[in-house]
Amino acid sequence: MPRAVRRAATAAVEFAVGRAGIAAVRVLNRDAIGQGHRPRGAAGSVTGWVFAHRPSNRQRNRWVVSLLGVQPTDRVLEIGFGPGVAVAELVRAGAGHVYGADHSPVMLRQASRRNAAAIQAGRVTLVNAPADRLPAALEGPFDAILAVNSLGFWPAPAERLAELRRRLAPGGRIAIASQPRCPGATADTARRAASEIENLLRNAGFTQLRTEILPLSPPVACVLAASPAS
């Protein structure tokens, strides 16, 4: 896995939980980074709460959703939905149906509570599944796919992206966002992570690549691409 992407994902967990959050998690479970990767138990509930309420996390998810420009007819898939913040943003943006996969049962519960009304209305479907074992219910075709600070945790991300391209409708779009949190991270760090994501997407067969930057500290890089139209 590209080093910059993995470092960005791991450090993002550290920053998102924050000093107070990490301390609280460590009281219950000493592995805060492991909790960020796959929240579980009581400690995972704390981690998910922090992820959902940290202002920069919420801003990052809103921004990525806005870049996708979802339409009322769109079927959208999120890989690694965490506490369901981006799912809720997609619903508010008017997506026709939002699907999501996350390998943490704790995050499935939190995201399901956060989006209970949309689930009851038949607009959201969430499943407990890892990125490398998506169920038949998520075959697609989808009009858009997104992943926010989760690519770095996927096994064999190049293979996963190729699989996701096959689940997109012709011309469907994908957004992969990364906010590096390694010590001393700068705009250059974000650009390097974006470059690695671009290479992964290009090698997976995506076209029309472009990178957008959200000027947080450190910046968020979101690489957008499309599945070939034919």
Mean pLDDT, residues 184-188 taken together: 86
Mean pLDDT, residues 178-205 taken together: 91
CB-neighbour burial class of residue 170 (10 A; exposed 0-12, middle 13-18, buried 19+) = exposed
CA–CA distances in Å: residue 106 to residues 46, 49, 136: 10, 11, 22
Q: Which helix (H) or strand (E) holds 128?
A: strand 124-128
pLDDT at position 5 is 52
pLDDT at position 183 is 79
> Taking 80 as the threshold, does the pLDDT of residue 153 lie above it?
yes
Beta pairing, strands 124-128 & 75-79: unpaired
CA-wise closest residue to 147 among 205, 31, 67: 67
pLDDT at position 4 is 54
Which tens digits make up the pLDDT trace of 195-209?
Answer: 999 999 999 999 999
- Amino acid 67 reads L
pTM to 2 decimals? 0.80
User: Cα–Cα distance between 118 and 225 in angstroms, integer?
Assistant: 28
- Amino acid 95 reads A
Confidence of residue 55 (pLDDT cuts 50, 70, 90): low
Confidence of residue 71 (pLDDT cuts 50, 70, 90): very high
pLDDT at position 32 is 42
Confidence of residue 37 (pLDDT cuts 50, 70, 90): low
> Taking 90 as the threshold, does the pLDDT of residue 20 lie above it?
no
Indicate the domain borders of the chain.
Answer: 3-226
CATH topology of domain 3-226: Rossmann fold (3.40.50)
Number of other residues whose CB lies within 10 A of the CB of residue 159? 13
Chain center to CA of 19:
22
> Taking 50 as the threshold, does the pLDDT of residue 217 lie above it?
yes
Confidence of residue 15 (pLDDT cuts 50, 70, 90): very low
Q: Which stretch, 23-27, 51-55, 56-60, 193-197, has highest mean pLDDT?
A: 193-197
pLDDT at position 203 is 97
CB-CB contact of 43 with 29 (8 Å): yes
Strand order in the sheet with 207-214: 124-128, 97-102, 75-79, 142-148, 168-178, 220-226, 207-214
**Percentage, residues of the chain above pLDDT 70:** 76
